[in-house]
Structure formats: structure tokens, C-alpha cells
Amino acid sequence: MTAGKSGPVQPKPGPAKSGPAKPDPAKPDPASVETWLFDLDNTLYPAACNLFDQIDRRMGLFIEARLGLPPGEARSLQKTFFREHGTTLRGLMDRHAVPPADYLDFVHDIDLSVVAASPGLDAALARLPGRKAIYTNASADHAHRVLDRLEVAHHFVGIFDIADAAYLPKPDPRGYHAAIAALELDPERTVFFEDSARNLVPAHALGMTTVWVRHEAEFSARDAEHATIHHTTNDLVAWLEGVLTGPDDVPAP
């Protein structure tokens, strides 16, 4: 994990002032945000590029090979691990003592050419004041490769990955506490972006502002009814541009 606290510390926002009603929900004032914390897969790049589908398929292949299962059984077990252990990896570690590096190297051996450079994301991150960091259930190596493809790596002061979380995946609250310590986050001044709604639950409980970057896959909405979601978007770059330009200038959907 690479992290550093840099730049001037913005003053804490004061108590709410009376005045004209603001649009609901009001987007955060960028000047009051110390850290913009992003999930990686399907959050920083569009789910529609199907990169995660490649990872998902290789998770199944890994289970087939390691446990000697036919594809159907491996697929079923993969879904059980995700549901009951948070990630496929955690299930393999808990129930089959799989070394995490073996698994992570295998599942992230994918074709990253489907992820295109994102000048829009690059420009929005450049304009956002405050620090930007990554909190991912994947490996830091994978995160670095994806950030390089997007051409946005230089914006991020830290990557908190699954090894940093002692392989306790989101939404395990212990990982969030570890991320807060490692990245030196003030949760009350952190905005957290995630495509998996269930991973927003602990973030909100710890005081973060939550942004759900939703997409069509079933898992994106799982547990959404239990998550306190402050903002929802299906276009991260447009949402960031809206924060930067104010509510009157939000690009049309």
C-alpha cells in the first residue's frame, strides 16, 4: 500500500446554516471533502466493457482446476463463496486453504485492452480538490494495471488492496477500519464510490458519504435496500462533473 497525507487540510464544514432549501440530495461541496475513495472494478471503468466478466470466468476456471470440479459445480460454488464469504477468494482460503497469491495471479491474468483511456475521468480527477485513493477487493498489481490503462494512475495517493485488508474483503467492516488507518482517512470527510451497493453499508456506518455507481449486473444492487446511499449514478464521470460545476450544470442523463 502506498499512501501519504499531503496538501493543506481543509477546515471542517461548519454546522448547517439556515437558508433556502437545497436540491435533495445535495452533492458534497468539493472543498469540504478531504479524500475521494474509489472502488476499482466496475466503478472506475464502465461495467459495460466486461473486464470483470473475464475475471469472473477465470475465478470459475481456477475452482475447476484447483478443486477438480466440473464447470457447473464450480460456478455454483463460486456463487456460494461470494454470497457467504464476501469473495470467491475468501471462500477458497477459508474452506480449502488456497494461497491467495496463486488465486490473484490467475484471475487477474486478463486482456486489459477492453479498458480504454478515460480523458473525462482524468480531467475530473484533476479538477477535484483533495486526495484520491483506491480501496479494492482485488490486488494492487491489478489496480495499477487498470489505472495505467485508464491513464489516471498519477492522481492516486494510495491503493489499499485485499492483501492490505488481511484478505478480509469488503463488506467486512474490519477491512474498512484498516483502510481508514492505512490511508489516514477522516471518514466524515471521505466520499466513497462503489458499484456493489452492499459495500456501501459499512462505509456509511463509519460516517462516509456514499455514492453508488450502479450497473446492470445483479450483484450491483444486492443489499441496496440495506445500504444508506447518499447518491446514485450510472456514470461516474458525469457525476463528478456535476459536483465540480454545481447542481444547475449537471449534464443531462
Interface with Mg ion (CB under 5 A): 39, 41-43, 195
Q: Residue 199's closest CA among 181, 219, 178, 183?
A: 219
| 240 vs 38: CA distance, rounded Å | 12
Min. distance of Cβ 135 from Mg ion in angstroms? Answer: 10
Cell numbers that stand for 239 in this block: 457525476
CA 93 from chain centre, in angstroms, equals 22
Minimum CB distance to Mg ion, residue 43 (Å): 5
188-206 burial by CB neighbour count: b if 16+ within 10 A, else e? ebbbbbbbbbbbbbbbbeb
Count Cβ atoms within 10 A of the Cβ of residue 246 and give its class: 0-12 exposed, 13-18 middle, 19 or more buried: exposed
Least distance (Å) from Mg ion to the CB of residue 150? 14
The 3-state DSSP class for residue 108 equals: coil
Query: Residue 41 or 64: which CB sits closer to Mg ion?
Result: 41
**209 vs 220, beta carbon nearer Mg ion:** 220
Question: For the chain, where are the E strands, in sequence order?
Answer: 35-38, 131-135, 156-160, 190-194, 209-213, 231-233
Write down the least CB distance from residue 236 to Mg ion, Å.
Answer: 11
Minimum gap (Å) between residue 221 Cβ and Mg ion: 13
Least distance CB 194 / Mg ion (angstroms): 6
Nearer to Mg ion, 64 or 196 (CB): 196
Nearer to Mg ion, 136 or 190 (CB): 136
Helices 100-107/88-96 angle, 10° precision: 150
For Mg ion, give the closer residue by CB, 64 or 125: 125
Q: Which is nearer to Mg ion, 62 or 193 (CB)?
A: 193
